[in-house]
Copies of this chain bind each other. A is one copy, B any other.
């Protein structure tokens, strides 16, 4: 069953991420990292923008950013252009953490598909990318 296999892969992937974060003593989930990545790339992006970039719905992202704000990694500010929107950006603490964590996350990518040879990994990634659609960037 494709769905079941994909769910297992996701399970393994989040588990590897959690282990690496625990090893470096940082309390950050995959989604929280993905959100910080989007915010780092587009400072002052609004929540809906973050949601769109990492393919989440607005309600979920609201909670994710709540937790990032509580930890002091991001700050929120009502946009002057559009008072419905909240502009999000990394705090100094958040930017520092992001710098620290980036190499760890890069390193951990190799461990997500441990059963595969490097060539197979590349094949898998290419197929996954195609299946998901461009998502290029």
Q: A13 to B8, Cβ gap below 8 A?
A: no
Convert A30-46 into 0s and 1s, putting 1 for each residue whose CB lies closer than 8 angstroms to a CB of B. Answer: 10001000000000000
- Give A130 Cβ to nearest chain B Cβ, in Å: 5
Convert A1-42 into 0s and 1s, putting 1 for each residue whose CB lies closer than 8 angstroms to a CB of B. Answer: 111111111111110110000000000001000100000000
Asked whether A129 is an interface residue with its Cβ less than 8 Å from the other chain, the reply is yes
- Which of B116, B128, B135 meets A6, CB within 8 Å? B128
Q: A10 to B5, Cβ gap below 8 A?
A: no
How far is B6's CA from A125's CA once the two chains are assembled, in angstroms?
9
| Chain B residues whose C-beta falls within 8 Å of the C-beta of A115 in the assembled complex | 130-133
| Chain B residues whose C-beta falls within 8 Å of the C-beta of A129 in the assembled complex | 5
Asked whether A66 is an interface residue with its Cβ less than 8 Å from the other chain, the reply is no
Convert A109-137 into 0s and 1s, putting 1 for each residue whose CB lies closer than 8 angstroms to a CB of B. Answer: 10011111000110111011111110100
How far is B120's CA from A129's CA once the two chains are assembled, in angstroms?
12
- Given A1-B105, A3-B112, A6-B9, 17 other A-B contacts at CB below 8 A? A1-B109, A2-B13, A2-B113, A2-B128, A3-B13, A3-B109, A4-B30, A6-B13, A6-B112, A8-B55, A9-B10, A114-B131, A116-B127, A116-B131, A124-B124, A124-B127, A127-B127
